[in-house]
Amino acid sequence: MTLALPAGMTARPPTRDDVVAVVDLINAAQVAEGDEPDMTVTELRKDWVDADLDDEAILLLDADGAPVAMADILNRRYHQINVYAFVSPGPVWDEQWDYLTAWGEQWATGHAHLGEDVSEVAVHRFIRATNTRAIARLEADGYVN
C-alpha cells in the first residue's frame, strides 16, 4: 500500500497541545459511524501519558491546518501492532483512511526489526462494528474481520 497524502493535506505527529482538537475529531468520527461520542480530554491525556507521539502517532491536517484524521499505535513488543484510526466525515474520507492504513503498515514494517525474535508481525486495526465503510475498505485490502 502506498503512502500518499490526499491533495492539500499535511501530516505531522500530534502534540499534547492538540488534545482538545483530537478529542473533537475522534468524537466526530464516532458520531459519523452512528455511535455516541465517548472520548474525553481526560481519557486521551491518560492514553498519551507514556506515548511516543513523535513516533507512534500521525495527525492529518486540512489546507487550513485543522485536524481531520489521526492514527496511533499500540505496540505489543513488535509482534502485534494495534492501529487505532479516526477519520472525520468529509469528501476525502477514503483517501484519508487509505493514508492511515498505509502509515500503520509501514510503521509495523519499519519497526519489526526492533523486536526480539520477531519473524512475523500481526497488524490489527480496531474499528467500531458500525463503521461498515472502513470494514469494507480493510477487507478490500486483505484484512480479515
Buried b (16+ CB within 10 A) or exposed e, 86-124: bbbeeebbebbbbbbbebbbebbeebeeebeeeeebebe
Note the pTM of the prediction, 2 decimals: 0.81
Each domain of the chain, given as residue ranges in start order, spans: 10-140
* Interatomic CA distance for residues 78 and 101, integer angstroms: 17
- Residue-by-residue pLDDT tens, the chain, 145 positions: 567 899 999 999 999 999 999 999 999 988 988 889 999 999 999 999 999 999 999 999 999 999 999 999 876 665 667 888 899 888 888 899 889 988 988 888 877 667 666 555 555 556 666 777 777 777 777 766 5
Q: What is the pLDDT of residue 21?
A: 97
Q: What is the pLDDT of residue 125?
A: 59
* Interatomic CA distance for residues 129 and 145, integer angstroms: 10
CATH architecture of the domain covering 10-140 = 3-Layer(aba) Sandwich (3.40)
- Helix ranges (H only) for 33-142 are 41-47, 53-56, 93-111, 132-140
Write out the three cell numbers for 65: 491546518
What is the C-alpha radius of gyration for the chain, rounded to an integer number of angstroms? 15
> Do 17 and 30 contact (CB within 8 A), yes or no?
no
Q: What is the pLDDT of residue 59?
A: 98
Write out the three cell numbers for 114: 526492533
